[in-house]
Amino acid sequence: MKNDYKKIALDGAIRNNPTFKLVLGTCPTLALTTAAMNGIYMGIAVTFVLMCSNALVSILRRIIPKEVRIPAFVLIIATFVTIVRLVLDYFLPDLNDIMGLYLPLIVVNCIILARAESFASKNSLLPSIADGLFNGIGFTFALTLMGAVREILGRGEIFGTRLWNFTIDFFGTSAGAFFTYAVFIALFSLIIGMVKDKKIKAEKPELFDLNAEVK
Amino acid sequence: MGQFLAIVVSAVFINNFVVVQFLGICPFLGVSKDFKSALGMGIAVTFVMTITCLITYPIYTYLLVPLKIEFMEIIVFIFVIASIVQMIEMVLKKFSPTLYNAMGIYLPLITTNCAVLGVAELVIDETQMINLLGISSMNMGYAVLYGLFAGLGFTLAIVIMSGLREKVARLPINKHLRGFPIAMIAACFIAMAFYVF
């Protein structure tokens, strides 16, 4: 049982990281990563919606008929996004302005629909909530990391604190967003590949032994 | 006429949906591997975006606002979009099988395309539209025109992208850069080209 949750955590946050491995939910990733803090805000909003929608989809998975499941999922997600929007509008109106158009667009964020379809509609309540949480953490982590890099290089700041006066304006622009994202996906694939090689090497050293006889 | 040109230039070039506002990135990266499917996707999205504006703008202005239930907009809009897509699919299947064969496979993907929900949300934000287009007040004609030309902007970007990717696919590239990363670097150059405006 404990192993199950460990697998969910590793799969959601690292091995199948929604942003760097699966390249889902690209619109907010590119648009909001001009600063590290924006990544955290967006990440928390998405994580909340992801956990709630996964929970509700999991509870209703035997009731929703297969033919209308996608519209039903979208309706569930839209409901939670509306809740987030109303809460933010009331308590943190500034935040609502930062996220602007991208807050309602959480509805069509492919990560949430993908998790509802591929995990929550097949699993029980607790694992589904855990899956939502760890995918959300993976997404938040990715956005914050990209935001930090673009903020440091583009504005010479980190979380709003000035570091130095050296800036490369390119990283603050939309072209810089595409470029940073491309570099991150490539680096992620490189690092995961290296870790995998190391694991195989530890388990089956003969595969890497050049002097071993080829059978 | 000047107003019309302002909308065209703003929607297609200055505030291009894909490379400036980052809306509709998923199909932009997913369906841009060859020219023909990119063009089909672009036309299908333009079509749906125009009709969406035509329906959601009056629903918001004449139904949700007078009833004071503006907070329902997300749920209402996503349902309108899903029904429009479904209806277009059925109408095309019945009356124009050739067009259905050309556009059919892209239609289900459009429901979850953020460009469509994005344009519906954008045209009801009056202050932002006035800033974007330099008009005095928003009305339904502007909303529909903006939907049409934003869709054409999307088509332009995805068609340019497919041309680039057809060329890039033949180059020898490091395996970690192949696929999405190299497509995004191509998108990076397209975005730089749009700075001219």
Residue A213 domain flag: no
Q: Minimal CA–CA distance to A77: which of B74, B119, B60?
A: B74
Q: With beta carbons less than 8 A apart as the criterion, state whether B115 and B150 touch.
A: yes
Across the interface, of B25, B118, B195, the residue whose CB is closest to A30 is: B25
Residue B67 has pLDDT above 60, yes or no: yes
Q: Which residues of A touch B (CB under 8 A)?
A: 23-24, 26-28, 30-31, 71, 74-75, 78-79, 81-82, 85-86, 101, 104-105, 107-110, 113, 173-179, 181-183, 185-187, 189-190, 193
Residue A7 domain flag: yes
Question: Which residue of chain B has the CA closest to A29?
Answer: B22
State the CB neighbour count (10 A cutoff) for residue A112. 32
Q: Minimal CA–CA distance to B168: which of B188, B189, B158, B183?
A: B183
The ipTM estimated for the assembled molecules is: 0.85
The arithmetic mean of pLDDT across residues B10-29, rounded, is 86
Q: B126 vs A16, A33, B10, B58, CA distance in Å?
A: 40, 26, 16, 13
Q: What is the pLDDT of residues A66-87, one digit of tens each?
A: 878 888 888 899 999 999 988 9
- Tell me, yes or no, if the pTM score tops 0.80: yes
Residue A212 domain flag: no
Q: A133 vs A28, A46, A73, CA distance in Å?
A: 18, 10, 18
> Containing domain of residue B75, as a range?
2-195
The DSSP letter of residue A93 is H
**Whole-number mean pLDDT of chain A?**
85
Q: What is the pLDDT of residues A5-23, one digit of tens each?
A: 888 888 888 888 888 888 8
Question: Which residue of chain B has the CA closest to A79?
Answer: B75
Across the interface, of B24, B74, B184, the residue whose CB is closest to A104 is: B74
For chains A and B, what is the number of CB pairs under 8 angstroms?
Answer: 110
Q: With beta carbons less than 8 A apart as the criterion, state whether A82 and B72 touch.
A: yes
Banded pLDDT at A100 (limits 50, 70, 90): confident
pLDDT score for A208: 61
Q: What is the pLDDT of residues A133-190, one digit of tens each?
A: 999 999 999 999 999 999 999 888 888 788 888 888 888 888 889 999 999 999 998 9
Chain B residues close to A116, C-beta within 8 Å: none
Residue A215 has pLDDT above 50, yes or no: no
Report residue A115 as tokens: 């998790």
Residue A172 domain flag: yes
Q: With beta carbons less than 8 A apart as the criterion, state whether A201 and A208 touch.
A: yes
How many separate domains does chain B show?
A: 1
Q: Do B181 and A179 touch (CB under 8 A)?
A: no
**Which residue, chain included where needed, has tokens 């107003």?**
B3
Distance CA A96, CA A130 (A): 27
Distance CA B179, CA B138 (A): 42
pLDDT score for A210: 58
Q: Do A108 and B78 touch (CB under 8 A)?
A: yes
**Which residue, chain included where needed, has tokens 């050739």?**
B98
Distance CA B56, CA B137 (A): 18
Q: With beta carbons less than 8 A apart as the criterion, state whether B28 and B157 touch.
A: yes
Distance CA A129, CA B35 (A): 41
The identity of residue A145, as a single letter, is L
Strand bridging mode A157-158 / A161-162: antiparallel
From its phi and psi, is residue A214 left (phi > 0), alpha (psi between -120 and 50) or beta? Answer: beta
> Containing domain of residue A42, as a range?
2-207
The DSSP letter of residue B108 is H
Report residue B181 as tokens: 């990363």
How many separate domains does chain A show?
A: 1
Q: A6 vs A9, A50, B96, B108, CA distance in Å?
A: 5, 19, 52, 35
